Amino acid sequence: MSVAACAALVERGDPDRFMAVMAAPVALRARLFPLYAFNLEIARAPWVTSQPMIAEMRLQWWRDVVAEPAPRAHEVVGPLHGVIQTAGLPLPLLDRMISARIWDVYSEPFEDAADFDRYIEETGAGLMWLAALAAGAAPGAEAAVRGFGWAAGLAGYLRAVPELEARGRFPLPDGRPEAVRDWAALGLEKIRAARAARRLIGGAGPALLAGWQAEAVLRQVVADPGIVAEGRIAAPSEFARRGRLAWGALTGRW
Could you read off the pLDDT of 45-57 as tens digits, one per residue? 999 999 999 999 9
Query: Looking at residue 1, what is its pLDDT?
Result: 65
Among 77-86, 124-133, 140-149, 237-246, the minimum mean pLDDT is found in: 237-246
| Average pLDDT score over the chain | 95
DSSP state of 25: -
Record the pTM: 0.95
The angle subtended at Cα 63 by Cα 137 and Cα 163, nearest 5°, is 85
Query: Looking at residue 72, what is its pLDDT?
Result: 83
Query: Looking at residue 245, what is its pLDDT?
Result: 83
Rounded to whole angstroms, how far apart are CA atoms 95 and 93? 5
In the chain, % of residues over pLDDT 70: 100
pLDDT tens-place string over residues 93-137: 999 999 999 999 999 999 999 999 999 999 999 999 999 999 999
pLDDT tens-place string over residues 157-202: 999 999 999 999 999 999 999 999 999 999 999 999 999 999 999 9
Rounded to whole angstroms, how far apart are CA atoms 144 and 129? 9
More confident position, 167 or 244:
167
Query: Looking at residue 253, what is its pLDDT?
Result: 80
Query: Looking at residue 237, what is its pLDDT?
Result: 85
Domain residues for 64? Answer: 3-251
Q: What does the pLDDT average to over 53-78?
A: 92
Rounded to whole angstroms, how far apart are CA atoms 56 and 34? 22
Rounded to whole angstroms, how far apart are CA atoms 42 and 196? 32
CA quadruple 123, 219, 143, 149: dihedral, nearest 10: 30
Ramachandran angles phi, psi of 110, nearest 5°: -65, 145
Domain count, the chain: 1
Q: Is the pLDDT of residue 225 over 90?
A: yes
CATH code of residue 225: 1.10.600.10
